[in-house]
Amino acid sequence: MKRFKKLVVGNWKMNPETLIEAKKIATSVKRAAKSLKRTEIVLCPPFIFLSSLLTGKSKGISFGAQDAFYESAGPYTGEVSSRELSGLGIDYIIIGHSERRARGESDETINKKVKVTVGDGMTAILCIGEKERDHQGEYLHFVKKQIISGLKDVSKKSLDRVVIAYEPVWAVGAREAMPPREVQEMSIFIKKVLRDLFGVLSDGVRVLYGGDVTVGNVLEIVRDGKVSGLLIGRESLKVKNFIEIAKIADSAK
C-alpha cells in the first residue's frame, strides 16, 4: 500500500502585498521543509507570485494554486487555466474553498475544476465543510452532498490525486478550531462516504482538516483527530508559526 506523506498546506489567500515579502516567506519555509521526514509542505500563494517562487525542485516542498479554471484556453478574461498551471510546474490546486463558494462558486463548477485538475496530472485539494451544525445531523447530508457532487465522474483510478480538505466554515478565519474528537468523527464519515462511492480504496484518500489551526492545537488535531494533514490560512503567513506547525505535524504519530 502506498504511504502518503502528511500534507501541510499554506493557503496565503490574497496575501502578502509584495513579491519581496512572498519570497521572504517562501525562502524560510523551503529551508525548514528540508528537515521534515514524513511531511510535505504545499505553499499556495496568489497566482502572480507563483512563477517567481517556483525555482526548481526543493526537498519537502511543493507549490499549489488557490483555484484553476476548467477550460484550457480561450476567451475567459481574468481566468487562469489548470493546463497553464500544470505547465508551470504546479502540483496542487485548492478547489471549492469556502470563501469562493460564499461568492457563488457552484458544486457543478467545482466538479469541472476537480476533473480538469486531476486530468492535467495535478492533485485537487477539494474543500468541503458545513456552514453550521444542527442536532438533526443535517450537516452530515450537506457534507456528503458536497463530496458526491465534487467527485462526480471522477474515476477510482484518479482518486490518488484527490485530497479532501474538511473545513467547517464556522472555524475558518475564526478563533475556535473544531475539537479533535469531532475532527476524527468527520474524517471517519468522509472516508465512509468515499468507500460507499468508490468501494475499498487500496491507497486511501488523504483527509485534511482546516479552520483555525495554530501551534497550540496542531498536535491534538493531527494525533487525536487522525487527519493526514492540515490546510492553514492565517498562520501560513507567519513564518515562525507555520514552520513550527509543520514540525509538530511531522513528529505527531
213 vs 222: CA distance, rounded Å:
10
Binds ligand PGA (CB under 6 A): choice among 212, 229, 243, 249: 212
Q: Least distance from C-beta 11 to ligand PGA, angstroms? A: 5
201-223 burial: b if 16+ Cβ within 10 Å, else e: eeebbbbbbbbbbbbebbebbbb
11 binding ligand PGA? (CB under 6 A):
yes
Q: Least distance from C-beta 55 to ligand PGA, angstroms? A: 25
**Cα distance from N-terminal residue to C-terminal residue, the chain:** 18
SS3 of residue 19 by DSSP: helix
64 binding ligand PGA? (CB under 6 A):
no
Instruction: Establish whether 167 is a catalytic residue.
Output: yes
Q: Least distance from C-beta 15 to ligand PGA, angstroms? A: 11
45 binding ligand PGA? (CB under 6 A):
no
Nearest alpha-carbon partner for 253 in 215, 225, 213: 225
For ligand PGA (CB under 6 A), the number of binding residues is 13
23 vs 34: CA distance, rounded Å:
17
Phi, psi of 9, rounded to the nearest 5 degrees: -105, 125
130 binding ligand PGA? (CB under 6 A):
no
229 binding ligand PGA? (CB under 6 A):
no
> Which span sits near ligand PGA by CB under 6 A: 80-88, 152-160, 166-174, 240-248?
166-174
Binds ligand PGA (CB under 6 A): choice among 167, 183, 209, 249: 167
Assigned C-alpha cell, 229: 494533514
Catalytic residue among 40, 97, 130, 235: 97
Q: Least distance from C-beta 136 to ligand PGA, angstroms? A: 26
243 vs 249: CA distance, rounded Å:
10
> Which span sits near ligand PGA by CB under 6 A: 54-62, 131-139, 194-202, 210-218?
210-218
SS3 of residue 61 by DSSP: strand
Phi, psi of 162, rounded to the nearest 5 degrees: -125, 130
Binds ligand PGA (CB under 6 A): choice among 31, 106, 156, 173: 173
Binds ligand PGA (CB under 6 A): choice among 61, 164, 190, 213: 213
Q: What angle do CA 124, 127, 132 make, to 5 degrees?
A: 170
Instruction: Establish whether 176 is a catalytic residue.
Output: no
232 vs 172: CA distance, rounded Å:
9
Task: List contacts with ligand PGA (CB under 6 A).
Answer: 11, 167, 172-173, 210-213, 231-235
**Catalytically annotated residues:** 97, 167
